[in-house]
């Protein structure tokens, strides 16, 4: 078991199984099936992300360095939350980009009964340590426990 401390972007707690990407997450390509075609498991549709392609993201602890892609990124995250297809939490090793932060904060503020804690600046050591399937617990203060 290891603990990592990051900066809280969207508050909350969560416990979920990790899915890990060592590449940036293209939010539009990754969540497109969930938003347009009713995929409730939010199976990653980004063929360029070899770590996540074809894996379920809804309800998982999504561990990644950063998001990439178009300016729709924030809206895509917000919409995934509004449809109940969001990750249990998003954990960034690097500082979060403004678009992903906007989507996470808007979902946190505008949506009732929806939780997607977001923590950033967890460091490269976090992303090197965590593996798919590990149990992740996010605490209110930005502490992330990896079992």
Helix (H), strand (E) at residue 79: helix 73-82
pTM of the model: 0.97
Q: What is the CATH number of the domain that holds 84?
A: 3.50.30.10
Range of the domain at 75: 2-146
> For residue 61, is it left (φ>0), alpha (ψ between -120 and 50) or beta?
beta
- Per residue in 54-94, pLDDT (tens digit) is 999 999 999 999 999 888 999 999 999 999 999 999 999 99
Round the average pLDDT of the chain to a whole number and report it.
Answer: 96
Domain count, the chain: 1
Tell me the residue length of the chain: 147
């Amino acid at each position: 078991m290891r603990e990592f401390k990051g900066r809280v972007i969207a508050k909350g707690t969560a416990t979920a199984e990790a899915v890990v990407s060592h590449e940036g997450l293209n939010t539009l390509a990754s969540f497109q099936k969930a938003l347009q075609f009713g995929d409730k498991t939010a199976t990653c549709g980004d063929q360029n992300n070899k770590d996540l392609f074809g894996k379920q993201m809804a309800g998982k602890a999504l561990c990644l360095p950063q998001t990439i892609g178009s300016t729709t990124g924030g809206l895509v995250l917000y919409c995934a939350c509004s449809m109940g297809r969001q990750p249990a939490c998003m954990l960034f090793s690097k500082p979060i980009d403004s678009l992903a932060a906007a989507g996470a904060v808007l979902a946190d503020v505008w949506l009732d009964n929806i939780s997607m804690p977001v923590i950033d600046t967890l460091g490269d050591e976090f992303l090197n340590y965590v593996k798919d399937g590990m149990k992740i617990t996010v605490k209110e203060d930005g502490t992330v426990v990896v079992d």
